[in-house]
């Protein structure tokens, strides 16, 4: 039964790993596509500029240079902002490239740690602990737990007193006395 559960858990882990791997491949593909798009956009921008120069001759009668000057002024006023945004984009790209191997290493280490915890029995221990909590929840009311919370300090003090060597010795003697009486 436990083997079946472990096999199911391993199967789920493999499915999750396959999903993460596919996501990483998609991410890498998107990065390649973005780079290609950036290269293509540079070529297109050059062509558009050349075409715009030729096309401006047709629209010259309708074109107001004040609008162009206003746009240029805005661009010049915001050059630092535009540069900062572009720098941040480049930094983000570099960060993602740097994090990819680290992410894989961290994921591999996580899998090793999870495997080690599984070998040591932590997951079985946790499952049984959940069953203990379930038993407590189904056996006690909210009022019982509230009373326990309010009285936990005196209860623990009593248990602490009962575990002192002289108290344990007295209890042992009393038990011995009762055993002699009933035998």
Please tell me which residue, 67 or 123, carries the higher pLDDT value.
123
3-state secondary structure 150-169: HHHHHHHHHHHHHCCHHHHH
State yes or no: pLDDT of 60 exceeds 80. Answer: no
Spans of all domains in the chain: 1-63, 78-139, 142-183
Whole-model pTM? 0.33
pLDDT tens digits for range 65-114: 888 888 899 999 999 999 999 999 999 998 888 888 888 888 899 999 99
Reported as half-sphere exposure (CB side, CA atoms, 13 A), residue 168 has a value of 5
């Amino acid at each position: 039964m436990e083997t079946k559960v472990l096999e199911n858990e391993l199967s789920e882990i493999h499915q999750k790993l396959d999903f993460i791997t596919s996501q990483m491949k998609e991410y890498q593909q998107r990065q390649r596509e973005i780079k290609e798009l950036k290269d293509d956009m540079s070529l297109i921008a050059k062509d558009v500029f050349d075409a715009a120069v030729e096309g401006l001759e047709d629209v010259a009668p309708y074109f107001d240079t004040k609008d162009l000057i206003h746009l240029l002024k805005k661009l010049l006023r915001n050059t630092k902002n535009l540069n900062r945004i572009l720098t941040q984009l480049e930094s983000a790209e570099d960060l993602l490239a740097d994090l990819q191997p680290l992410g894989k290493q961290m994921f591999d280490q996580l899998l090793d740690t999870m495997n080690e915890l599984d070998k040591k029995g932590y997951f079985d221990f946790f499952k049984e602990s959940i069953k203990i909590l379930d038993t407590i929840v189904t056996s006690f009311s909210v009022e019982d737990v509230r009373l326990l919370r309010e009285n936990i300090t005196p209860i623990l003090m009593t248990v602490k007193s009962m575990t002192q060597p002289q108290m344990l010795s007295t209890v042992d003697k009393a038990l011995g006395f009762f055993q002699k009486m009933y035998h």
